[in-house]
Amino acid sequence: ALEANPDFAVTYNNLAWLLATCPVPEYRSGIKALRLAQKALELTPDASILDTLAAAYAEVGKFEDAVRVMQRIITMMGNGDAENLSIYKKHLNAYKEGKPWRGK
């Protein structure tokens, strides 16, 4: 998919999310996730991609960076989109505790 759509931010973001948060350790790669999330962010800077960037930071042990990114998202959102805001706050709390996020 990346070869077919080299400028498709959603593809980069989805793969980065999987590599950062997969519950199966063999499929995780924080370094690759970080690189892909940064590429996605260059193409489309939005909250969901920033969330993935934070997850990648957490996966490589950069929890301070993960917290900083999540705080940026929450500030950007203000009081809008309560459902996603709730999810982002859960991610923020995990990173504050020094825990990477894991998918289900």
Nearest Cα to 22, choosing from 61, 55, 47, 46? 55
Q: How far is CA 8 from the centre of its chain?
A: 16
pTM of this structure: 0.91
Walk me through the domains of the chain, giving residue ranges and CATH numbers: 9-96 (1.25.40)
Q: What is the pLDDT along the chain (104 residues), one digit of tens a residue?
A: 555 565 789 999 999 999 999 999 999 999 999 999 999 999 988 999 999 999 999 999 999 999 999 999 999 888 788 889 999 999 999 999 999 999 87
Distance CA 29, CA 61 (A): 12
